[in-house]
Amino acid sequence: MTIHFNADLRPIVKDRVGMLHWIMDPACSGFIIAYDLSGNQVLISNFDAKKYPIENWNKKIARSVVTAAIGKEIPFDVLSFRPWVLSRKVAKQYQIGKVFLAGDAAHSFPPTGGLGLNTGIADIHNLAYKIAAQQRGMGSEKLLKSYEAERRHPAIVNARQSVKNGKEIFSFLKTLGVAGIEDVNEARQNLYKSIHEPSKQKMIAEHVESQREHFDNVS
């Protein structure tokens, strides 16, 4: 679930400023994208569709999830919430005659890693210079046909990476030993125990390190 909300998170974050803030609470696993720490935020959170069916979602449920993510009661406004599925789609063809697909029309994959937007911008950059060159008599039809060959494969690679990023993020709770526990308080006790247990600290550190690919990937 993607929840767009307005809140001043500076008093919460303090000196731990970042673009992404990871949430590993049993009531809300995911991350907050801090577009503006003083106001504009997006929470991307995993949720149990059986416990909270999509058709039953409302601002009250969204507020409870955001509050769990923040960790304390502070004033904020829920602007919107939207469910999505961790999946990927890439068009089989990028061109039919004079019709070209680019951006979201050509591919759709999770927001984990921001690869969708970056891939779309690269599509347009590639296509625009080809069309401009062809219009100015500097390129033939072969130049336009090279668009699909050059841009479809990167979309496939980035789509797979986006799904992998998402799975890595949302599987972290299993490492912390709180997945599958319905009682939130019991799950939190397991979480605190895992964090301080020497035998699990190395495993947790390795799992955190495995997220590096999420940030180092170049689209």
Going from N- to C-terminal start, the domains of the chain cover 1-84, 89-167
**Bridge partners (DSSP) listed for residue 30:** 23, 45
Does the domain made of 89-167 have the CATH classification 3.40.50.300? no
Axis crossing angle, helix 198-209 with helix 184-196, rounded to the nearest 10 = 90
pTM greater than the 0.85 cutoff: no
pLDDT, residue 80, reads 96
Q: Residue-wise pLDDT tens for the chain (219 aa)?
A: 999 999 999 999 999 888 888 888 877 888 898 889 999 999 998 887 888 899 999 999 999 999 999 988 999 999 999 998 878 999 999 999 999 999 999 999 888 778 888 999 999 999 999 999 999 988 788 899 999 999 999 999 999 998 888 777 777 766 776 666 677 888 888 888 888 888 778 888 887 787 777 777 665
**Whether 110 contacts 162, CB under 8 Å:** yes
Q: Parallel, antiparallel, or unpaired: how do β-strands 99-100 and 2-7 relate?
A: unpaired
Question: Using CA atoms, how far apart are residues 56 and 191, in angstroms rounded to an integer?
Answer: 28
Question: Using CA atoms, how far apart are residues 170 and 200, in angstroms rounded to an integer?
Answer: 18
CATH code of the domain made up of 1-84:
3.30.9.10
pLDDT, residue 96, reads 94
**Whether 79 contacts 38, CB under 8 Å:** no
Token pair 């590993």: residue: 24
